[in-house]
Amino acid sequence: MSAELRSNFLRTQIQGDLDAGLSGPVITRFPPEPNGYLHIGHAKSITVNFGLAEQFGGRCHLRFDDTNPEKESQEFIDSIQEDVRWLGYEWHGEVRYASAYFQQLFEWALHLIDEGLAYVCDLSPEEAREYRGTLTEAGRNSPYRDRSTSENVALFLKMREGEFSDGERVLRAKIDMASSNMNLRDPILYRIRHASHHQTGDEWPIYPTYDFAHGQEDAIEGITHSICTLEFEDHRPLYDWFIAHLPVPHRPRQIEFARLNTSFTITSKRKLKQLVDDQVVAGWDDPRMPTIAGLRRRGYPAPAIRHFCEEVGTSRSDGMVDMAMLESAVRDHLNRHAPRAMCVMRPLRLVLTDLPESMTLAVSNHPADPQFGERQLRMDRELFIDREDFREEANKHFKRLVLGKRVRLRGGLVIEGERCDKDSDGTIVCVYAKCITLVPGADPEDGVKPKGVIHWVSAEHSVPATIRQYDRLFSVADPARADDMMSALNPDSLVVSDDAMIEPALRDAAPEQVFQFEREGYFVADRYDHSAAHPVFNMTIGLRDSWSGSNG
């Protein structure tokens, strides 16, 4: 067990409950609302909830809190299940839904009415806001608060039968309109919504609110520890009130921890949906999105994301985590696990003027791990090198090909630049070089060693590919604070090139397979668009942090 897990305050509290005689297994749950794709913050919650259950030999439920059908869809349900499994977790039993408990919640609402603890209110939303008061001013009782039990039951049953229009009436708990906690000022339990539900169809014209349903769902499922983020701390007294006044079969314990906030990222589902709807990105799984599906499509490995979440740890204080920490975890993982390959992004033809014949080279797939084996590369008289790797003249700090200077071709020969051809605009179109060595990996006999190494591909045998070079979606560290989210977008977050040339074996890369393109970065075969006929690679991350020191 890692040091982070040993010092986890959540684990300490759960261990304390066990030491105090908690009977039965530890049962946690991950309860997303199916109104969008999961993001990096949810990844943290997943690792916490599933991780705690795993550490204590318990179980974790996956439950969809599906109480708002107008914003929910099967697409989101499917994507969430796929994300949880991709991260490496499996929930206990069947997938659970709040909608499966609608009848029980309805009966409990009737129980509160019978106990004089709930009433049907006719205030309009605008009037209800006025009556609610402010943080410094107590609210006022609704004029409908003192309806009789029989009238409330009759009206609520009519709500259930669909006799009223949307928003015409609500069911509210009768708690305390003067409470300093706004959540206790007669909160809404049920709203009228004539909306078809993805699980229950048109069975229900009324739907429980999240606050009413959430704690009772935990109680029904026997959840021992309801692990929530800090924004639910002020809701806990309300959840406790419901539990205390309802005949629930179990009493969960809620513990809050700080949610994960990362720099250069927005995790508001509403704002992420806006990016999708406005076609700023290509969808919820666009590789620039902070969604788990987006990170996956970009080539971020699940183990690296889990490691990042563990390294961040859990605390009771909100803060901002530098995105560079996640990127570092990705680099560390891929440096160990990604095979090497060569891709020339900006091809420039190179002719080896005195290469006697083509040769086949055996090149290591990983410089530090022989278990990755070797691959065969064809070195011909005509190659492609990167345009950025050649200059006619350069100072001593330029470690690549220069006329009259030497460089080594990766895994191959030492060459020396001789001359170059230019087109009518003065653009270099071809470079000529002579071979100083003819044995791969050998050093020149005259003792004058090359100053650098450049990558290459065979002009005859290489394959064109589409390369999508991704960067951070936002150019400021805290885009959520920007007056206009769109003004914080990074204009260079995506650059698409169809000019790149790759090793021929990369055509057969499996979708989601990641490679280190030597001297360029880490790239993944797109899980949907890549094919042997049309290779497509997404840039996962550069070899170094290009944002170091940036604070937006």
Is the Cβ–Cβ distance between 327 and 298 less than 8 Å?
Answer: no
Q: How many residues does the chain have?
A: 552
Q: Which amino acid is at 444?
A: P
Contacts of 134 (CB under 8 A, 6+ apart): none
First-to-last C-alpha distance (Å) of the chain: 37
Find, among 503, 518, 400, 384, the residue nearest to 453 by Cα: 400
User: Using CA atoms, how far apart are residues 331 and 134, in angstroms rounded to an integer?
Assistant: 49
- How far is 461 from 379, CA to CA, in rounded Å? 9
Calculate the alpha carbon distances from 521 to 56, 319, 336, 391, 410 in Å.
Answer: 40, 30, 14, 22, 16
Q: Positive or negative, the Cα torsion across 320, 325, 330, 331?
A: positive
Tell me the catalytic residues: 33, 259, 269
Helix then strand then coil, % of the chain, to nearest 5: 30, 25, 45
Helix (H) or strand (E) holding 536: strand 536-541
Task: Find all residues with CB under 8 Å of 551, minimum gap 6, and list them.
Answer: 477
For the chain, helix (H) and strand (E) counts, in that order, are 13, 29
Distance, in Å, from the CA atom of 87 to the CA atom of 72, rounded to the nearest integer, reads 23
- Tokens 């349903």, located at residue: 213
SS3 240: helix
Bridge partners, 391 (sequence order) = 402
CA distance 456 to 464: 13
- Does residue 415 contact residue 407 with C-beta atoms inside 8 Å? yes
Q: Angle at the Cα of 406 (from 402 to 411), degrees rounded to 5?
A: 115
- The rounded distance, in Å, linking the Cα atoms of 434 and 178 is 88
Between CA 88 and CA 97, with CA 92 as vertex, the angle to 5 degrees is: 105
The runs of H, that is alpha helices, within 321-415 are 323-337
The per-residue DSSP string of 110-179 comes to: HHHHHTT-EEEE---HHHHHHHH--SSS-----TTTT--HHHHHHHHHHHHTT-S-TTS-EEEE-S-TT-
Which backbone phi and psi does 350 adopt, to 5 degrees? -125, 125
**Rounded to an integer, what distance in angstroms lies between the CA atom of residue 514 and that of residue 300?**
9
